[in-house]
């Protein structure tokens, strides 16, 4: 295999490390448009890419005390059963794989782009909401259910969408704990969904390995150069690319 997949993984890793955009939101369109993978194969490959890419980050956040384990447990209580039920529906043929995955992917890309563009307004809204602890816990589980379905069908949602909604549900948490908690939840969810897709034959293991060779050092580099990049311009650029990909899938 050529060096192109590793170079693509490197670029994606730098962008992910610099902007915090979820691995799925960036890599799935690349797998479709650059490498020409069929939609189910692109989603299954990206689930493993996202899970393995974020694994090291999850361990690092946990060691630094940046993971709210109670919130992770509530998210997983909703997301893992929802992912398993969605996988069962795909295995049984109860839903069309290509149609449902394409629609879910398009919606997830558009939601991610919208949330990136509205990040400042989203943060202000979070300060005006006052949830009781019981309601906060219930909505966190429901968020997990939504993410379980969306991630299994599209590989997208556990990162940017999950983090944005967690800001609304848990505005009292510092930003580092929100990020660490979101990553810690994303790893088991994407790997559970990834195993299900692997059983369906939806993973290109050779391409996955080449992408990871580039993405892992890329994330390390991106985390260090991110502070030097103009945050608003970077966010707008990434959002524009996601909007274009999302509209192309839905249209």
Helix 175-199 and helix 69-92, axial crossing angle in degrees, nearest 10: 20
Range picked from 9-23, 51-65, 69-83, 204-218 for highest mean pLDDT: 69-83
Q: How many CA atoms lie within 13 A of 229 on its CB side?
A: 21
What mean pLDDT value characterizes the chain?
81
- CA distances (Å), origin 245, targets 38, 110, 191, 234, 239: 15, 8, 24, 17, 10
Residue 166, pLDDT > 60, answer yes
**Poorest-confidence range of 16-30, 60-74, 224-238?**
224-238
From CA 188, how far away is CA 53, in angstroms rounded? 12
**Poorest-confidence range of 78-82, 140-144, 231-235?**
231-235
Of residues 65, 169, 48, 153, the one with CA closest to residue 103 = 153
Pseudo-torsion of CA 129, 130, 134, 139, nearest 10°? 0
Q: Are 31 and 234 in contact (CB under 8 A)?
A: no
The per-residue pLDDT for range 169-212, each reduced to its tens digit, is 887 777 778 778 888 898 899 999 999 999 999 999 999 999 99
For 216-229, letters b (16+ CB in 10 Å) and e give bbbbeebbeebeeb
**pTM of the predicted structure, to 2 decimals:** 0.81
Average pLDDT over residues 108-126: 75
pLDDT at residue 148 in the model: 94
């Amino acid at each position: 295999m050529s060096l192109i997949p590793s170079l693509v993984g490197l670029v994606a890793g730098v962008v992910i490390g610099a902007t915090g955009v979820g691995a799925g939101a960036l890599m799935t369109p690349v797998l479709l448009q650059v490498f020409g993978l069929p939609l189910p194969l692109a989603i299954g490959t990206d689930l493993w890419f996202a899970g393995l890419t974020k694994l090291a980050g999850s361990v690092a956040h946990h060691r630094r005390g940046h993971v709210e384990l109670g919130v992770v447990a509530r998210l997983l209580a909703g997301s893992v059963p929802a992912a398993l039920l969605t996988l069962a529906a795909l295995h049984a043929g109860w839903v069309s794989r290509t149609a449902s995955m394409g629609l879910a992917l398009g919606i997830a890309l558009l939601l991610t782009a919208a949330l990136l563009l509205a990040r400042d307004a989203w943060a202000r809204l979070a300060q005006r909401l006052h949830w009781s602890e019981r309601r906060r816990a219930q909505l966190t589980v429901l968020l997990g259910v939504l993410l379980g379905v969306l991630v299994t069908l599209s590989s997208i949602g556990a990162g940017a969408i999950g983090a944005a909604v967690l800001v609304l549900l848990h505005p009292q948490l510092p930003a580092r704990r929100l990020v660490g908690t979101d990553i810690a939840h994303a790893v088991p969810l994407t790997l559970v969904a990834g195993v299900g897709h692997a059983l369906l034959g939806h993973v290109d293991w050779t391409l996955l390995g080449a992408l990871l060779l580039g993405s892992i050092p890329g994330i390390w580099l991106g985390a260090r150069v991110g502070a030097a990049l103009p945050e608003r311009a970077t966010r707008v650029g990434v959002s524009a690319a996601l909007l274009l990909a999302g509209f192309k899938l839905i249209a």
